[in-house]
Amino acid sequence: MDFLNKELKSNGIAIIDYGSQYTQLIARRVRELGVFSEILNHSVSLDTILQNNPKAIILSGGPNSVFDEKSPTLNKELLKLDIPILGICYGMQLLANELGGEVKPSDKREYGLATIQLNHESSLFKNLKAQELNVWMSHGDSLTQIPEGFKATSSSSNTPFVAMEDTNQKIFGIQFHPEVTHTEKGETILSNFIFEIAKCKSSWQIDDLVENIISVLKDKIGNSKVLLGLSGGVDSSVVAGLLHKAIGDQLTCIFVDNGLLRLNERNQVEQTFKKNMDIKLVCVDASEKFLDALKGVTDPEEKRKIIGNKFIEVFEEESARLEGVKYLAQGTIYPDVIESAGGVEGQAAHVIKSHHNVGGLPEYMKLDLVEPLRSFFKDEVRSIGSAIGIPDSIIRRHPFPGPGLGVRILNEVKREYADKLRLADHIFIEELISNNLYHQVNQAFAVYLPIASVGVVGDGRAYEHVIALRAVETKDFMTANWARLPYDFLERVSLRIINEVRGVSRVVYDISGKPPATIEWE
């Protein structure tokens, strides 16, 4: 289902996707500036690109090299359009390669922060007073010669041509990623392109978006009934709120206890949605089915798929008990999609990990899929939730993975491990809340490591398991920094877990950022 009408799509930016993990992040940054953006696969026709009359085009980065035979290529017809084009990273290399410049493999690849020098006056760098900027690089190839008619507007110690432009052709290129929060003044650079160069107007408002989503849901669903797998997390809760506003009692939410939930999760969900919001809610205890299916399974991808398949089985069983159910709703959001390389059909992104709620439903399932949040990041979902009146206690809750504790227990999943992890995670979150730290981090959780670690319990030695704590600070969940929690706080959490969770003798704290690590361990 398309949840956006043509009025909201006018005055927008078309983003051509070449497989970057940050493509949707570009779209989100543009929307944050109040301008509509849409992502289109690099292989689509020119007519498709122009159907919404974009004011400008952005070419995304990508994991490929212009030298590879099977790499995505540039649609040459784009260069004939009289609208501004901005190439980012691989997008810049495609432009340079097509227009007569020279791209070569770099002697020194750049991945991460780099310092660039702004060499010339440029409309793209307008209002940037600094002569140097710290930016986020991610490339193995570099420009060694820019096309004729272009001027170089930035360089680094490793790359002579970090940015180029030809104002007559309205073509601009930058080697770094302005959409990533690590890039200084990245928002200003994008703003300059969108407003100063492309002459867009700020007209994209969250209230208009919500109104459209609800309108489309009403129109598409009609009198049919919808099932929603409600976890109590932010995403599924916002979907429940949208559907409840759109179709009321036609919605039935199913809460599945898979044995891999947080402590007291079922009681909290029943209280919030059944009693406070008056939403139809069916609770199903399927913990034995899930845990039996996971016996002996250690591969994280296999665990995700098993859990996803079991969810679908339960939903199908429950839908058979209800008459007139046509749709299954899911709280899929973009980070789920992009890490499964499913954001745009045929895209060239590399798979990081699969998600149980991504990729559609199996052929045998009789329900059609409804995913109203599939195009949005977590903070956008929270904004939508606020706009429709979902309480802060829900929409400001930390993310919880669809497979639950199944991907926070390394190796084989056992009930005893899940029970220990549930308690350890509860202690960590409880302490964060009581110390006013919960909302200072964006996601925090515990991980169960079933490996023997020497410990001292009472007067004796013991070989018991390890709990790892993870807390990150992030704006978009595409990149993240580990949270610098106070040592005294971490010490208290560690002591509580070791004293209160039997079978755990050691607690460690994860200080890895994303990248190179992911936020979840599996």
Q: What positions carry a catalytic annotation?
A: 89, 177, 179
**Alpha carbons 178 and 134: distance in angstroms, whole number:** 10
- Helix or strand holding residue 392 (H, E): helix 392-395
Number of alpha helices (DSSP H) and beta strands (DSSP E) in the chain: 15, 18
Question: In angstroms, rounded to a whole number, what is the distance separating the alpha carbons of residues 174 and 165?
Answer: 9
d(C-alpha 308, C-alpha 293), whole Å: 11
> How deeply is 359 buried, as exposed, middle or buried, from its count of CB atoms within 10 A (0-12, 13-18, 19+)?
middle
Q: In this structure, which amino acid lies at residue 271?
A: Q
CB-count burial class (<10 Å; 0-12, 13-18, 19+) for 387: middle
- Enumerate residues 6+ apart whose C-beta is below 8 A from 449: 410, 465, 466, 467, 468
Residue owning tokens 């600094």: 130
Q: How far apart are CA 375 and CA 378, in angstroms?
A: 10
Burial label, 307 (beta-carbon count in 10 A; 0-12, 13-18, 19+) = buried
Strand partners for 462:
455
Alpha carbon 308 to its chain's center: 19
Q: Strand, coil or helix: what is 320?
A: coil
Side chain identity at residue 228, one-letter code: L
Which tokens is 287 given? 């913990």
CA end-to-end distance (rounded Å), the chain: 31
- Judging by DSSP bridges, how do beta strands 460-473 and 443-457 pair with one another? antiparallel
Q: Which residues pair with 369 in a beta bridge?
A: 328
The set of residues, in sequence order, having a beta carbon less than 8 Å from that of 5 and lying 6+ positions away, is: 212
Query: 156 and 167 in contact (C-beta within 8 Å)?
Result: no
Copy the structure tokens of residue 81.
Answer: 């359009």
